[in-house]
Amino acid sequence: MLKALIMLKREREDMGRDEKPIALEELSEYGDEQLETLVGEAVEFCNDAARSGKLVDKLEEVATSDSEASACHSLATGLNSVLLDFKDRDIGRLKTCSANDLTLYNTGSNTNLDSKLLMKVSDGKSKSKPDIYESRYEGLLKSAPGLGTLSFEELAAYMETNQASGSQSSKSTATVPRIEWSDIVSCLEVKKSQGEWRQPLRRNWEQHGYSTRSLIQDDDPRFKSPNPTPSPAPNVSGSRTDRTVRGGLKRERDPNDSLDEPSSKRSKTSSSGDECNTPLWSVHPGLLPAEIQCSFYGLELLRSRWNRTHSIVTLFSDDEFSLRWYDSQGCIRSHAISLSGEELPLAVATIILLQRFHAPMRGMANIELKANIDGEETFFDVPSSARPRWEVRGRRPMAVRPLPVAGKEISEQGRNSTPPPAKTPLDNCFFKWYWRESDRKAEKHVVDVAKARAQKYLPEGHASDVIDHLPDIYHSEDYEPLSTFHIRSFCQMDTTGALIPCAMMSKRLVSMEEAFEPDEVRAGSGLGHSSLLDNIMSTLPSEDGTKRMVLNDFDLALVMTPGDESPGENGLVERTGTRPFMALDVLDDTDRLVKRIRRYDIESVFWSLLWYCSRKWDWNEGTNQQIWGRKWRWLRHLNVKDPVPDADVEEECIPLWTAVAVTICTEEHTLMVSKTQDSLLANKPPRTDKDFLELCETMFPRAERYKSWPWMDFAIKKDRGPPS
């Protein structure tokens, strides 16, 4: 894991401005060299009693303490002694951070901080803040204004002498510094359960027997494993193409080697599901297991900033030390190492490496927000309160109105300046930041293909039937260097499902509810989509009052081959979407993959319109089968001949609700009858999409312009010319 972090650090923050990415083999060799240097420095520190004495003393206190609270204070002080020792030391080519970005460890009891997530999951006995947290020196000074003149060393000394009595229970809330999750660099969880481990720690330390060679595999061929075949990098614009593929980024021990050799020669990295640990049970009274506590801290850090790419949480469980890396794709967990054994330098090396991380490796991506709008480069900002939300498969989208930049430094210009006013006012724009799977196309690409195909395939004069209902996307950009692919590739893990952060600037839309009255919605329906929560939007009214429904949010969309009836391999796609609006057949099918057909999209439109009239919150809770059951029971209790609106339907929405409810109920009943044995024995043709559309027209008549060509029968039989 350490080598992977070193390689990633080189790529994200240690490259010079004029340097180019290096080939994978060269990067792996760089990782080997820097890892050996780093561990060598840690070994030298541990073998020097004068330098490491304080750390060992504090670890002994952790081993013998009666409570986790006292253990946390001792551990924080011991870790800070490592940071103080290495603050001004050069370690190979691992670049240090600036003085203000240096970090120290503080106990959570000294802060006023809570996790709302953790407070909700138990009976109040779970920890709602990390035992120890890492924070920037400058941030610690700001959180306690009275300490503003202390140097780094003075602040560490102050924290050592004051935080022993800094239990929040002994202080009033007013005297405890208030921090936010966005102020935290990393979290540490401390768990005591198996008594003391002081004696073996002291014995190993006094022998000065820590060895770099015992901790790092050398070039002896016995320790080399056959080169595995690494997963290929995702085919994304801007990804590294000049790397040569090389297996064996780690040298694992030969199975014939002596079993009494250090366990550290084995692989140090696993995915969160690769090893068998104590089962994680569901929410219960009392303290949560340490693994779940760590996960909550990782999630809080990830959602604390819109541009947070990952979070790091360390677990000290008795004498075992392990690291967790959380990102949009999941968790990577290192194997635990023993602090009381010969692996203590590996823990020290980890702390030293984390000390040398700059903002990018701490998870705060340096992203200069700019977009090409109507051919002009426009700089902008986002509200400070903007936060991502969690969605299926870690997409973590954030959608906000962009803000103008005032006096912001523009790095390319090399000066402080206020950008000139944009040709397109930012008030009319909409910014989205999201993570997408590397094997999916960006939303702008999907929309551009849809517009191009409308021009190519639809009858003359009717391309606007599609184009008018698609968003105007000015700018789209992928940030491939921040992809979750790289850390997994460097760790020699499966990279399937890698996610890439994307930025997108579009013309501003407003919600359908804000733009249209219920009678207008009924008259203007006619769009289909597989995920419709807040996805049917509207253009802003023009000077003459014209406004159009626009289908928005294409991060789940797939580009089909012209002529195909269903997207995906063999017509099968993942069962994703907003469950209150998913077709019943999609919810009812238990397979992971489903054939996506047009009638499902048509049906989804009506379920979304029903939501527009009446919120069914329990349709979004539970399993797909449970939601299917609730929706089906709702249909069964509906009298088509004399439908009675649900209690929460407002009077102005009753006509729309009635039309939608009757349409859904009639279609589902007709479809069910068509699947009965009598219908099958009578060789009745299966119900078609056109049958469904004709039913829709009885309740939602087409406008005259849509009657001028047979669009219900329209289908692309084969591609006419070069692919779009």
CB-count burial class (<10 Å; 0-12, 13-18, 19+) for 167: middle
Mean residue pLDDT across the chain: 76
**Which of 362, 393, 420 corresponds to the end of one domain?**
362
CA distance 369 to 360: 16
Tell me if 341 is assigned to some domain.
Answer: yes
Sign (positive/negative) of CA torsion 97, 355, 211, 254? Answer: negative
In this model, does residue 363 exceed pLDDT 70?
yes
Tell me if 456 is assigned to some domain.
Answer: no
- Looking at residue 595, its pLDDT comes to 74
pLDDT in tens, 693-708: 888 888 888 888 777 7
The DSSP H or E segment spanning 27 is helix 24-47
Least confident of 35-49, 420-434, 528-542: 528-542
Tell me if 169 is assigned to some domain.
Answer: yes
Domain limits for position 679: 529-542+550-724
Strand, helix or coil for residue 510 = strand
- Looking at residue 524, its pLDDT comes to 43
Q: What average pLDDT score do residues 677-683 get?
A: 67
- Looking at residue 248, its pLDDT comes to 30
- Looking at residue 218, its pLDDT comes to 42
- Check: CB of residue 721 under 8 Å from CB of residue 456: yes
pLDDT in tens, 234-282: 443 334 433 333 333 333 333 333 333 333 333 333 444 444 444 433 4
Question: With bands split at pLDDT 50, 70 and 90, how would you rate the model's confidence at 716?
Answer: confident
pLDDT in tens, 51-104: 999 998 999 888 888 887 888 899 999 999 999 999 989 999 998 888 888 999
The larger pLDDT score, comparing residue 528 to residue 96, is at: 96
- Looking up residue 641, the CATH number of its domain turns out to be 1.10.510
- Looking at residue 570, its pLDDT comes to 60
Q: What average pLDDT score do residues 562-580 get?
A: 69
Q: For residue 301, what are its two tokens?
A: 């850090």
pLDDT in tens, 187-221: 999 888 766 676 788 888 888 778 888 777 543 33
- Looking at residue 227, its pLDDT comes to 39
CA distance 27 to 258: 30
Spell out the SS3 assignment of 459-483. CCCCCHHHHCCCCCEEEEEECHHHC
Q: What average pLDDT score do residues 547-561 get?
A: 75
Strand, helix or coil for residue 540 = coil
Tell me if 246 is assigned to some domain.
Answer: no
Strand, helix or coil for residue 333 = strand
**CA distances to 356, 362, 401, 404, 662 from 90, in Å:** 10, 20, 44, 41, 74
- Looking at residue 60, its pLDDT comes to 87
- Looking at residue 252, its pLDDT comes to 38
**Which of 362, 377, 406 corresponds to the end of one domain?**
362
Q: For residue 275, what are its two tokens?
A: 């090893």
Tell me if 282 is assigned to some domain.
Answer: yes
- Looking at residue 245, its pLDDT comes to 31
pLDDT in tens, 491-501: 999 898 899 99
Give the number of domains in the chain.
2
Q: Among 696, 670, 698, 687, which Cα is nearest to 528's?
A: 696
- Looking at residue 215, its pLDDT comes to 78
Tell me if 55 is assigned to some domain.
Answer: yes
CA distance 100 to 91: 19
Q: For residue 339, what are its two tokens?
A: 């602090």
- Looking at residue 590, its pLDDT comes to 62
Tell me if 601 is assigned to some domain.
Answer: yes
- Check: CB of residue 201 under 8 Å from CB of residue 340: yes
**Which of 308, 329, 362 corresponds to the end of one domain?**
362
Tell me if 501 is assigned to some domain.
Answer: no
Q: What average pLDDT score do residues 647-659 get?
A: 88
Question: With bands split at pLDDT 50, 70 and 90, how would you rate the model's confidence at 167?
Answer: very low
Q: Which of 28-32, 66-70, 587-591, 678-682 holds the top average pLDDT?
A: 28-32
